[in-house]
Amino acid sequence: MATSPITRATGRVAVPVLGLFWLAVTTVPFLFMVMTTFKTQQESYSSSVWALPEALDFVNYADVLSGPFLTYLKNSVMVVVISVILIVVISAMAAYAFARMRFRFNEALFGLIVAGMIVPIHITLVPIYLMTRHMGLYDSPFALIGPYVATSLPISVFILTEFMRQIPKELEEAARLDGCGPFAIFFKVFFPLSGPGLSTVAIYNGIMLWNEFIFAYVLTSSTSTRTLPLAIWDYQGQYTSNIPAILAVVTLTSLPLVVAYAFGQEKIVKGMMAGSLKG
Amino acid sequence: MTDISTRSAGGGAGGAGLSLRKLAPAIFLAPAILLLAVYLLYPLVESFRLSLLDWNGLGADARFVGLDNWKKLATDTLFWEAAWNNILLAVFSVVIQMPIAVVLAVVLDNAGKGSRILKILYFLPLLMSSVALGVLFKYFYDVNFGPLNALLDYVGLGFLAQDWLGDTRFALGAVIAVVCWQYIPFYMVLFMAGLASFPAEISEAAKLDGASEATIFWKMKLPHLKGTFRTAVVLSVIGALRYFDLIYVMTGGGPEGSSELMATYMYRNVFSSFQLGYGSTVASGMFIVVILIASVLMRFSKRYETEV
Amino acid sequence: MTSITLSGVNKSFGANFPVIRGVDLQIEDGEFCVFLGPSGCGKSTLLRMVAGLEMGYTGEIRIGDRVVDKVEPADRQVAMVFQNYALYPHMSVYDNMAFGLRQAKTAKAEIERRVQDAARILQIEPLLDRMPKALSGGQRQRVAIGRAIVRQPKVFLFDEPLSNLDAALRVHMRSEIATLHRNFPAASMIYVTHDQTEAMALADKIVLLHAGKDMLKHGSIAQVGKPLDLYHRPRNLFVAGFLGSPTMNFLPGTFIAQEAAGARVALKGGEELVVPVNGGALAPGGAVTLGVRPEHLAPVAAPAAQTLTRPVTAVEHFGEYSFVYLDSGTPTPMIAKVAGDGGVKAGDTASFAAPIECCHLFDGDGIALNHLTSL
Ligand SMILES: Nc1ncnc2c1ncn2[C@@H]1O[C@H](COP(=O)(O)OP(=O)(O)OP(=O)(O)O)[C@@H](O)[C@H]1O
Ligand SMILES: [Mg+2]
């Protein structure tokens, strides 16, 4: 009632205008990307950037897929799946200890691990590089798993500890009366009950690691061992000035996440926001 | 009753159970602590040790040089310019992203049915890897074939067209723009959550008291977002101080170091100039800078919190 | 053989936060024992100590003739029903009940038989495939009890099992728990509540616990006994005031002399009453407190011996009975519970008989003086 008609009218105009404006800002780069992938190299130089491609030509995609692209994909899937499984199990175990067990230094240790969230991973790069060479893991996709799991642990432990603190103490006590030791309580009660927390952790880390660049860049060097973010990098070196082909690689590497996103937007948005909504 | 009594027939069954219970925390924490020790704590310490060496990383000719590298770092203008660029990135991230994110959050808060689909689309850039974005925007900014200059031309602003990434005046700004483009939706969702937690009864009560929508927004909802702002600033500053991928892909720190960040500078020292010792000094210096700024920031935001 | 014995039991949280002090208690085979007391007095803590969920106490707890101080909860042959039910949300009703038996590696057929039996007793057979979140509060409560039954424990432990239910359901479930007790005569039960009606209705034995300063001074246990013992023969002011609703009227007075019928006491207004207790140890002129329950005050036409006459300040009508508030010169008004509308209104002066056998007398320390006749 006190809202003046003018404010309401501005609102009615401003909301869609601003909403659509940002939509344009978001989508224009993607439009450019996808459109260009259907152009030939020749076309990308000669025609106007914003001109539609002459034909819906998948030749660039075919070109990329005929190369080692699938090897990169396979490596990515393998590294990310193994890492995420390890992250979920290991951080859930630690979180259970922090959330539910009484032992000396519980809080101190938790604080220390959580503080690991702000450590810039770059400081670990050289030592891990040297260590990896030393262990004979250099240039193997498996070299990535250790650093991936370790650097993901602080935030994952933090999220899951917060989550498990919400699980009623009585459930644990009921389980103890039902004859469960600490391990049975964890695996039969806490782990299954942490489903939403676990999926948040899995989604967040899955996306982060799927896109991880620097460790992969430093610890692997051959086409046969590298992951998808490096596919872009390597193709960029190889195709140099074939913009449509390079953008086809970019499109293809982004596709898996976009497809996953199409199926579970809410969950993925929530997962990506993990750790920021609390604390 | 069979099961229970047979189990307890063991009499001192408590003994084994209790000691297992004592050991349980250690067992549950062992994998996490082991991994963190090997891949986080050890490298951290090792990096400081390497910072005392002069070493190209290959042979056994590592030479202990004490604090020489640190002295060099203290007067290394390239490093401090890089650190300054990190700070610029942090400041502009906050100054540009926060207001736009709040505006978008408010827009979506009022967008009714369209808000879900808009949110989903806005969020898309966050799924992209920095490498993908770096490469995409490298072409987007391209002087000759890039759509940005073409677009400026098309709307009659052709005189504004630039060599965005090749010009020392624009390179850092151009990258900051991409960072903002990618992360604004993140903070928008954060602020949306903040707005959603604003109790509806309060705005209803205020409306009954004759407050306008604008008053409710400025006097009530915005102050309500204070905590969210704090979180957002901490996240975005810490993120900016550690930034690497996008800059590395788009400019490599150039031209002429104009977009150099601490992390790219470290990378160049180690993997291009093969100065492992000095590179580790840069990394350790970066670590100190990040920890210092982060702890000051958190201390400050905590004090702020108690005042509220 | 499933008696429960606590001897010299003390428990503190941290170095200087005692919660349980000097508890010596014997709960007999098959007895229904209720721990009653104000919030925070340590009822749950004491129960959880029996369950084995709370360790680090001093003293000794025995179940049957076994000392259980170092025995794991699962091996104590106890089953517990929690206030919030604590059903495993990710398991069906059947699995919730079977979980403990599976952990104990009971044979499949045996599990099936016991779960079906319990489900029949509790009338939850149609619910066995449901998940806990698809159950009402009362149904969850039954499942929680079912989970306890299938383990065939020697001791059932209940921690305020009814407090999450609405009033009507609470009365209904209360009678079901009484039935349960009849169906398992061999098992002892310990039941925690802060609701005195529940305690009076269910208990063979009530253990009333002190909180705070009283606990530090007198130990945790205020009084142990049959419900009516506590009602008719409270040992001190705390017990007298805790049981009964509205609470017992306490009138300050002075001891005059011991007579054959009991102790003669003068109240503030000058009235003199005789209380059938042994006041031999009291000094004439010593301060005492006279106690009389609102429901024992009977309206009379005029002041007489053994009556109390006071101005009426307010009357609350409940149809079947009324509360008459009387100005007694003390901060808390005196209350009389009378049948019907009481026949008086605010502003009147009314007289009430305080039948001699219904009066209690407490010495200067708040300890009840012994009655001349036992119950
Ligand atoms: N784990 C604990 N750590 C510290 N103090 C505790 C703990 N558990 C209980 N207490 C304290 O011990 C006292 C007794 O608690 P308890 O839960 O036994 O009370 P209660 O009689 O069951 O009360 P209520 O009727 O409210 O359930 C309380 O003051 C409580 O705050
Ligand atoms: Mg309790």
- Band (A117; pLDDT cuts 50, 70, 90): confident
Give chain B's mean pLDDT: 84
Q: In what order do the strands lie in the sheet with C359-362?
A: C272-275, C263-267, C249-258, C287-292, C359-362
C189 and C277 belong to one structural domain = no
The number of distinct structural domains making up chain C is: 2
- Chain A residue with CA closest to C151: the answer is A178
Give chain A's mean pLDDT: 88
Q: What is the mean pLDDT of residues A29-48?
A: 82
Would residue C368 count as lying in a domain?
A: no
Which residues are near ligand 2, the ion (C-beta closer than 5 Å)? C 44
SS3 A227: coil
- Distance of alpha carbon A37 from alpha carbon A59, whole angstroms: 9
- Give the domain range for residue A249: 68-273
Model ipTM value = 0.89
According to DSSP, residue C287 is labeled: E
Residue A277 C-alpha, separation from nearest chain B C-alpha, in angstroms: 7
pLDDT of residue B1: 36
Question: Between chains, do A177 and C89 touch, taking CB under 8 Å as contact?
Answer: no
C193 and C260 belong to one structural domain = no
Q: Ligand 1, closest atom to CA C43?
A: 21
Would residue A46 count as lying in a domain?
A: no
Residues of chain C contacting residue B4, judged by C-beta atoms under 8 Å apart: 74-75, 77, 104, 151-153
Q: Ligand 1 in contact with C41 (CB < 6 A)? A: yes
- Band (B155; pLDDT cuts 50, 70, 90): confident
Q: What is the mean pLDDT of residues A122-136?
A: 91
User: Which has the minimum average pLDDT: B173-177, B288-292, B301-305, C352-356?
Assistant: B301-305
The yes-or-no verdict on residue B208 having pLDDT over 90 is no
C114 compared with B199, residue with greater pLDDT: C114
Whole-number percent of chain B with pLDDT over 90? 37
Residue B175 C-alpha, separation from nearest chain A C-alpha, in angstroms: 14
Question: Between chains, do B4 and C151 touch, taking CB under 8 Å as contact?
Answer: yes
The yes-or-no verdict on residue B280 having pLDDT over 60 is yes
According to DSSP, residue C157 is labeled: E
- Chain A residue with CA closest to B117: the answer is A265
Which residue in the set B25, B44, B127 is minimally distant from A207, CB to CB?
B127
Residues A146-169 have pLDDT tens digits of: 999 999 999 999 999 999 999 999
CATH number at residue B129: 1.10.3720.10
Q: Could you tell me the pTM of the whole model?
A: 0.86
Q: Ligand 1 in contact with C212 (CB < 6 A)? A: no
Q: Ligand 1 in contact with C87 (CB < 6 A)? A: no
pLDDT of residue C360: 94
According to DSSP, residue B218 is labeled: I
pLDDT of residue A6: 55
A18 and A145 belong to one structural domain = no
Q: Ligand 1, closest atom to CA C14?
A: 4
Q: Ligand 1, closest atom to CA C83?
A: 27
Which residue in the set B2, B5, B17 is minimally distant from C72, CB to CB?
B17
pLDDT of residue B114: 82
pLDDT of residue B147: 83
- Give the domain range for residue B273: 68-307
Tens-digit pLDDT profile for chain C (375 aa)?
689 999 999 999 887 888 998 899 999 999 999 999 998 899 999 999 999 999 889 999 999 889 999 898 989 999 999 988 999 999 999 999 999 999 999 999 999 999 999 999 888 999 999 999 999 988 999 999 999 999 999 999 999 998 888 888 888 889 989 998 998 888 999 999 989 999 999 999 999 998 888 888 888 899 999 999 999 999 999 999 999 989 999 999 999 999 888 899 998 877 889 999 988 888 888 899 999 999 999 999 888 888 999 999 999 999 999 999 999 888 889 999 999 887 888 888 999 999 988 999 999 888 999 988 876
Would residue C375 count as lying in a domain?
A: no
C273 and C335 belong to one structural domain = yes
C228 and C319 belong to one structural domain = no
- Give the domain range for residue C271: 246-362
Would residue C367 count as lying in a domain?
A: no
Q: Taking a C-beta distance cutoff of 8 angstroms, is the pair B182, B133 a contact?
A: yes
Residue C9 C-alpha, separation from nearest chain B C-alpha, in angstroms: 20
B156 touches chain A (CB under 8 A): no
C171 and C254 belong to one structural domain = no
Whole-number percent of chain B with pLDDT over 70? 92
Question: Between chains, do C90 and A180 touch, taking CB under 8 Å as contact?
Answer: no
The yes-or-no verdict on residue A2 having pLDDT over 80 is no
A139 and A184 belong to one structural domain = yes
C273 and C219 belong to one structural domain = no
SS3 C201: helix
Q: Ligand 1, closest atom to CA C37?
A: 21
The yes-or-no verdict on residue A231 having pLDDT over 80 is yes
Q: Cα dist. B215→A70, B9, B198, B212, C248 in Å?
A: 57, 73, 15, 5, 56
The residue nearest atom 29 of ligand 1, judged by CA position, is C40
Question: Between chains, do B43 and A128 touch, taking CB under 8 Å as contact?
Answer: yes
A33 and A72 belong to one structural domain = no
Would residue A278 count as lying in a domain?
A: no
Residue of C12, C17, C19, C47 best suited for mutating to test ligand 1, as the one with most atoms within 8 Å of CB: C19
- Distance of alpha carbon B280 from alpha carbon B286, whole angstroms: 10
C276 and C217 belong to one structural domain = no
The identity of residue B253, as a single letter, is G
- Beta-strand (E) ranges in C28-118? 32-36, 58-63, 66-67, 78-81
A89 and A186 belong to one structural domain = yes
A16 and A107 belong to one structural domain = no
- Distance of alpha carbon C354 from alpha carbon C358, whole angstroms: 7
The yes-or-no verdict on residue B304 having pLDDT over 60 is no
According to DSSP, residue C367 is labeled: B
Q: Taking a C-beta distance cutoff of 8 angstroms, is the pair C81, C165 a contact?
A: no
Enumerate residues 12 to 51 of chain B having a beta carbon within 8 A of any beta carbon in chain C: 12-15, 17-18
The number of distinct structural domains making up chain A is: 2
C233 and C257 belong to one structural domain = no
The number of distinct structural domains making up chain B is: 1
Would residue B9 count as lying in a domain?
A: no
CATH number at residue C308: 2.40.50.140
- Distance of alpha carbon C354 from alpha carbon C356, whole angstroms: 6
pLDDT of residue A42: 77
Going from the Cα of C19 to the center of ligand 1, the distance in angstroms, rounded, reads: 8
A90 and A33 belong to one structural domain = no
C26 and C108 belong to one structural domain = yes
B213 compared with B131, residue with greater pLDDT: B131
Chain A residues whose C-beta is within 8 A of a chain C C-beta are 168, 170-171, 173-180, 184, 188-189, 192-193, 195
DSSP track, A1-39: --S-HHHHHHHHHHHHHHHHHHHHHHHHHHHHHHHHHTS
